Chains A and B, each alone.
Chain A
Amino acid sequence: MPFSLLKYGLNKDYPFEKHADLPAPTALKPSYDVVIIGGGGHGVATAYYLAKYHGITNVAVLEKGYLGGGNTARNTAVIRSNYLTPEGVKFYTESVKLFEGLSNEFDFNIMYSKRGQLTLAHTDAAVRGFRQRAEINKHFGGKTELIDPQQIRELVPMLNMNPGHLPILAGLWHMDGATARHDAVAWGYAKGATGRGVELHQLTEVTDVMVDNGRVSGVNTNRGAVNCGCVVQAVAGHSSLLAAKAGFKMPIISYPLQAMVTQPVKPFLDPLVSSPSLHCYVQQTGRGELVFGGGSDPYPLYNTRSTMDLKESLLAHAIELFPFMANMRLMRQWSGLTDMTSDYSPIMGLSPVENYYLDAGWGTWGFKSTPICGKTMAELVASGGQVPKLIKPFAMDRFKTFEQVNEMGATAASH
């Protein structure tokens, strides 16, 4: 290895270009069968499964920035399926199963690490909710148990069992909980998709959606117009803005979500720990850094700025859980744009525009659903609009028919 490195060092050409994971950029073709707007995890996963399972490769993924540069790069990489509703649990359980096999499937390490996720109950109401979630999870094949304070102490010896006025009464121990390298998931899907003939166009922003007689016919971009058979919109926080270009409203409000990471320390925290009552979650990465996240910002905003007040309130709670962290330094902070629905479930499937498919409303639960989302959206596109059974409950129309899928209580940090 050192010799080959030396050879590369002395080489006049940049030798890695030959082995680049992604093909070099090309011109936009005038027409594609499928245009996917948004080159994040969801967009490239949809392209990947379209090519792999359905043989549809005349596909363009249009990304206004760079591959996986939006919320795919900004989430806190939590994978879990311990939701509350049968619809949600079935959906996320499939995603967890797919995540387990992704590194093998890609031949590319996504650093999937199954560590279990522990959610803390500080009130009797939360304990009751956890009991229900544990039973629903077990019913649908997940591994989730309600555990007592002694078991929590054994799992996380460093945890303060009496934070402030909220002593820990019980925990929801979700053994399927895991983490993975979020960037690698997007890269793996992109590599697999482009290797099968899909085109990924970065720095290509959709400026307008062309709709003829209620049917989408193409998109205008900053690099020219493109005709297409159908469109998949997977643009997370900007869903409402793109939908407005296609001519309809969505039941979504966009909020920033802030997160941060500390300096690395010795490994001490194996499971991912979250506390809905204290509005925060903590996990230790493979490098030893601690990642913190909380609820979305208190008011809507299209801006990924960070604020001191949210840091203060979030870290005050995190320090109550792990008091020794008070002396640690923050290394990085960032924020993403979450497209929140009022029932905390996604919006997937058909839209008011024919052949224009929605993958939106991913709020704070987008990363963990990347594989199953790509797979079901690919089925939807390949079948010409037959909504797969797994995602039927997430249709946008549920807000018109008052059939919401309420997952508010099952978010890691209540909002």
Chain B
Amino acid sequence: MKIMNCPLNGPRNISEFVHGGELREMPDPNLCSDGEWADYVFYHENAVAVVKEWWLHAPSSYWFIAERHTASDEILNTYDPSEIFNQRVEFSLPPKESEA
């Protein structure tokens, strides 16, 4: 079976992992237009290239990032998301000054 290197648990069978989609820059949901949001949610490059993807190691519920080639299926690198995400992402609008 194909082996993936989990940054937390080491090399594991690919059947233990769940694909979580390509890692892409999210537009600010509070400020972007419907079109931009639709583009982010539904439209994909779907290219033959090395892509950064979210993966989940299901038994340990651990999300990480893998770099994988979409034609050869070669997994080039896997790492903890903290290497990219070092700030909190706010999904709700900041409270208005009058309410604060």
Contacts and interface: CB of A to CB of B under 8 A. Distances in A.
Interface of A: 240-241, 244, 249-254, 298-303, 305, 307-309, 342, 399-400, 402
B14 interface: yes
A300 B53 CA distance: 11
The CB with the most chain A CB atoms within 10 A, among B15, B34, B35, is that of B15
Contacts of B8: none
B4 to A, nearest CB: 10
Given A249-B39, A308-B1, A240 B14 contact: no
Given A309-B1, A400-B35, A402-B38, A302 B43 contact: no
30 contacts: A240-B44, A240-B45, A240-B46, A241-B46, A241-B48, A244-B45, A249-B39, A250-B43, A250-B44, A251-B44, A252-B44, A252-B46, A253-B46, A298-B18, A299-B19, A299-B53, A300-B70, A301-B70, A301-B71, A302-B70, A303-B71, A303-B72, A307-B2, A308-B1, A309-B2, A309-B13, A309-B14, A309-B15, A400-B39, A402-B34
Contacts of B48: 241, 302
The CB with the most chain A CB atoms within 10 A, among B13, B48, B71, is that of B48
A154 B68 CA distance: 49
A309 B44 CA distance: 27
B44 A249 contact: yes
Interface residues of B, number: 23
Nearest to B51: A300
Contacts of B45: 240, 244, 249
A301 B44 CA distance: 14
A254 B38 contact: no
Contacts of A400: 34-35, 38-39
A113 B74 CA distance: 42
Contacts of A252: 44, 46
A399 B43 contact: yes
B86 to A, nearest CB: 27
B42 interface: yes
A293 B6 CA distance: 30
A212 to B, nearest CB: 24
A263 B76 CA distance: 39
Contacts of A298: 18-19
Which 5 residue pairs spanning A and B have beta carbons closest together? A240-B46, A299-B19, A251-B42, A399-B42, A302-B71
B99 interface: no
Interface in B1-55: 1-2, 13-15, 18-19, 34-35, 38-39, 42-48, 53
Given A299-B19, A301-B71, A254 B1 contact: no
B67 to A, nearest CB: 14
A206 B1 CA distance: 36
Contact of A241 (B1, B2, B47): B47
B73 interface: yes
A305 B73 contact: yes
A302 B45 CA distance: 13
Contacts of B34: 400, 402
